[in-house]
Structure 1
C-alpha cells in the first residue's frame, strides 16, 4: 500500500503543501499510542513525549531532560526538580502535580513499570517532586529513562489515540497500524523544530521498507532489508548508517517446559547455534557473535572463554540428558524431542535465525516447529505452549546492567518470559539493586550474567547493528542512536 500510495508527481505536490516535511518509515507497528503501555515506544520515538531523564549515550550516564536535577543520597528518598517554563502541547504548564499524576497513572496501568520503579509515595510541591521508594534503590532515576514513564497530560480524553506530551511534535492524526501525522509544536521548551511536519509510518516488511526509500516515497528507513544494503549504498543520494547498539538477539528458553528444565538440553540448544555463520550469512556482517547479554565493550560485561559447539557437542549433551538417536530421531523413553520455536517478522533476521536453527537441529534428530506470532511480548507473557523463541532485547538502554537483569530474570520482571524463579540469581539482582558504587555494581552484574551463562538460562546469538538508510540529499541532522530511543528530535531538518 505504501509503495502504491502516490506517484512522483503527487509526491511533489504533497511536499509543497506540507512545507518542510520528513517521512520516516519504522519497522514496528502499533495500534495504541498510550505511552504508558505501548511496547513499541512510538510516542517517545516520534517526538510526542519525553521522560524526566534521558540516557547520555557517550558517557553511559543518566542526563537531565524534563527534570533539571535530582537528589537521593540514601537511595530511598528522592527529590526531583523540574525545569521551569515547559508546557504540554495543549498549552498547560508542566507542574509537579501534572508529573505526579502521570507517574501514578503508569504505575497503575503498567505492572512491569510498577515493579521496576518500586514507588511507595509521590508528593508534589510546585516544581519539585518528593518520591519515596519501597526499599533503598540507588538506580531509581535510571529507571525513569524508560519510555513508558513518559510524562503526559493525563486529563486528556483519548490517551490511546491522541496523547499530549511535551515533545517537539504534536499529533495531528493516527491511523492504528499504519501511520502518524505530526506537526511542529511551536511552544516546545527546547527550541521549535525547523520542520513543519513529520509522517511516521509503519511497515514490518523489510524489503518493502527498502523499496520505499529507493523509490523516493519515504526519506528515512529504520532497519532496511540487509540484502538490499549494497544496492541502497550504491544508489546516488542514499546513505546507509550503521552503529552498534545495546541489543542482543537471544534464544529465549521457556524454563517451565519439562525438556528445558534439564540443563543439558539447554546446553545442547546453545551448542547448536552457529553464531558466526548466522552473522555472516543473515546479517552480512552487520553484527557480531554474542557471548552473553552485554556487548563485550561494556564495563559490566563478563569475558567468556570460547566454548566448543556444533552437532557432536549437542549430541553429547543430549546423551547426558538421557536421549538416544534412534532411526533418525532423538528420543527419550520412546518419545521424540520436539520443540516449538516462536519468531516474529517485524525483525526480518529473527525468522531466518529460526530457520537455520530448525535445519541444524533436524540433522541430529530434534524436531523444531516454527510458529510465527505478531506481538511477542503479549504472546509469551500470556501463553506457555512454546519451548523457544527468537527474541531481540535491549540489554543496557539505561547504560547500566540493572534494567535487563531485573526485567528478564527477576521473578517480577516484565520480560521474564522464561519463567525464571531462581532464588540465588534473584538474590544477586536484589543486591545489585541496593548497591550504589559503580565498580561494585559491575562486579554484581558480572556475577548475575555468569550465573545466567553457567545455567544456560537463555542462549545469546548475536549483537546486531542498528541500520538506518536515508536520503542524504534531503535529510539533515539524523542521528542513529545506540539506545534506539531518540529518533525524531527538534534537530532533525531538511536541506
Structure 2
C-alpha cells in the first residue's frame, strides 16, 4: 500500500512538472510585446483621459480615422457620412462590429457612447456641438447646433472613442471595439492587453501586449537597452547615438503635427501688457534650443502649424535677442536697476510651469530662465503633473512650457477652436478677444480647403500679432524599437495609432 502511494505521488509530480513546463513553453512562445509610453495614465476612461491610452493601445476606436500620409479622413467604425447643409448629418455604421464583450455596435450603442462622452467631457461637448442624435438600426442622424461643415473631423478625436456604456467600469476596463481588450490595469504603471479574437478587421497578430508608462526619458531608453521594452516612445534625445549603436535597434524620427509653445496666462497683470509678451517671445532662442536640446530633431516654429501646411502663413520678420527684449520692456515701463528689471519699484518676476513627461520642456524652461536672468528678470520654475488639469484649475502662473498637437486631423480648426475660442478646451491663456472669436466662428462655418486655409492664415497672423502664445519648435516624434523582434511598426504622425492588429513579432 505504501509503495502504491509513493508511485502515485511520483506520477502526480511528473504530471505537474510536465504541465508547468508546457505552460512555460506556451507563455514563452506567445506573441506579445511591451510598448513603453512617456505619459502615465491614471485612468483608462476613453472619453475623459487626456493621454489617449485606450485609442493608442488598441482598446477603442473612433467613427472616423485620419490617414497620416494623405491627411484625409477615412471610414473606421463609420462606413460613410453625408450632409446637404452641414448641420444635419447621416452616418452609416459598419454592421459587422462587436464590442469586446460580444455585444453589437449598433446605432443605439454609438448614440449612448457619444452622449455619455458629451456629458462627462465638456470639451468634447463644445467640440462636437451636437444638438440631437437619433438612432435607427445602424444609422445615426446627428444635428449640430449650427452649420458645422468640418463636423466629421471632430469624430477623429480620441475622446469620442466608442465604448459599451452598459459596462460601467470605464476607469479600469472600458469595453471598446479595438483589437485588444483590457486584461488588467495598474494605474500609473501599465495596462495589460489580450487579443480580441472576434475583432471586425481581423484578429491581431499579437496574442497579448503591455502598454506601460514611465515619464523618465532616460529610464525608457535603458528599458529598451535591457530588453524590458520592445518599443519606446520618445527615448532620451541625448542618448539616441547609444541606441543607434545597438545592433537590431531602429530609431525613427518623424515629423508630426505638434508644437512646443510658451503658453501665456493673459489673466496675470504682467502678461496683460503686449510689450511684455513680445519681450518673452523674442527672448526665446529657437535655433539654439532646436540644436542643443532636440539635437536637430525639430523644426523651428514661427507659429502653431508646421510650414508644410497650406494654412501656415508667411510671418513678418522679427528682431530677436536680449536687447530687443530690453527695448520692448522699456515700452512697458520697465527699466533695469541694480541688476533687477522693475517697474515703479516692483521687480518683474515670472512663474514658469513645466512638466517632465516631455523631457525637453524642463530644459527649455531652464534655458529661458537663464536668458531672462541676464535681463534682471526672475523666473521661478515649478514642476507640475497633469499640465492640462493644473492650468485649467490654477491661475497662479505666468508662463508654461507646453506641447500640443495643432493639426492632428489635417485641419487648423481643432487647434484654433480649442486654444483661442472662449469655450475652447485648451484655452489656458484665458484668451477672450471678440475679433479673434469672430474669425474662428467664420472658419467654423466655411467649407472648402482653400477658403478655410485663407481664414486660418488670418487667425494665425492675428495670434502672432497679439502674442497670445509663443511658439518655440515643432519636435519630431522619436520612437526606438527592437527591429529584430518587432514587425509592422508604423510611427503615426498624429500620435493616435500605435498598437494595431497588424503589429507583429517574429
Q: Give the TM-score of the pair, scaled to structure 1.
A: 0.97
Measure the CA separation in 2 of the matches of 1:426 and 1:76: 20
Counterpart among 408, 413, 433 of residue 424 in structure 2: 413
Counterpart among 473, 477, 481 of residue 484 in structure 2: 473
Partner of 1:453: 464
Flag as ranges the 4+ runs of structure 1 deviating above 3 A: 12-18
What does 1:95-114 align with in structure 2 at a 5 Å threshold? 95-114=106-125
Gaps of 5+ in 2: 1-22
Partner of 2:100: 89
1:234 aligns with 2:245: yes
Do the aligned partners of 1:289 and 1:463 also contact (CA within 8 Å) in 2? yes
Measure the CA separation in 2 of the matches of 1:412 and 1:13: 55
- Which entry has the higher C-alpha Rg, 1 or 2? 2
1:374 aligns with 2:374: no
- SS of aligned partner of 2:416: helix
- SS of aligned partner of 2:295: coil
- CA deviations 1:412-460 (Å, max 9, x no partner) are 0000000000000000000000001111100000011001001101000
- SS of aligned partner of 2:328: helix
**Cα offset for 1:57?**
1.6
Measure the CA separation in 2 of the matches of 1:56 and 1:72: 21
- CA deviations 1:210-260 (Å, max 9, x no partner) are 000001111000000001100100110100011000000000000000111
Partner of 1:401: 412
- CA deviations 1:58-97 (Å, max 9, x no partner) are 2211110000100112110000000111000000001000
Measure the CA separation in 1 of the matches of 2:211 and 2:436: 41
**Cα offset for 1:303?**
1.2
Counterpart among 332, 335, 338 of residue 343 in structure 2: 332
**Cα offset for 1:18?**
6.5
Counterpart among 168, 190, 193 of residue 182 in structure 1: 193
Measure the CA separation in 2 of the matches of 1:157 and 1:291: 45
Measure the CA separation in 2 of the matches of 1:479 and 1:242: 12
What does 1:157-172 align with in structure 2 at a 5 Å threshold? 157-172=168-183
- SS of aligned partner of 1:428: helix
- CA deviations 1:327-372 (Å, max 9, x no partner) are 0010001000000000000000000000000000000011100000
- SS of aligned partner of 1:54: strand
Partner of 2:369: 358
**Cα offset for 1:306?**
3.3
Measure the CA separation in 1 of the matches of 2:29 and 2:48: 31
* Residues 1:255 and 1:369: Cα distance change in structure 2 (over 3 Å): same
Counterpart among 271, 286, 308 of residue 260 in structure 1: 271
Measure the CA separation in 1 of the matches of 2:216 and 2:423: 34
**Cα offset for 1:13?**
6.1
- SS of aligned partner of 2:356: coil
Measure the CA separation in 2 of the matches of 1:465 and 1:360: 25
Do the aligned partners of 1:343 and 1:350 also contact (CA within 8 Å) in 2? yes
Measure the CA separation in 1 of the matches of 2:354 and 2:317: 27
Gaps of 5+ in 1: 1-11
**Cα offset for 1:16?**
3.6
**Cα offset for 1:157?**
2.5
Partner of 2:299: 288
Counterpart among 156, 171, 180 of residue 167 in structure 2: 156
Measure the CA separation in 2 of the matches of 1:376 and 1:303: 30
Measure the CA separation in 1 of the matches of 2:25 and 2:183: 16
1:274 aligns with 2:285: yes
Q: Count residues in correspondence.
A: 484
Measure the CA separation in 1 of the matches of 2:118 and 2:246: 48
- SS of aligned partner of 1:47: coil
Partner of 1:392: 403
Partner of 1:75: 86
Measure the CA separation in 2 of the matches of 1:183 and 1:89: 11
* Residues 1:162 and 1:244: Cα distance change in structure 2 (over 3 Å): same
Partner of 1:425: 436
**Cα offset for 1:14?**
9.0
Measure the CA separation in 1 of the matches of 2:65 and 2:230: 26
Do the aligned partners of 1:87 and 1:166 also contact (CA within 8 Å) in 2? yes
Measure the CA separation in 1 of the matches of 2:272 and 2:389: 23
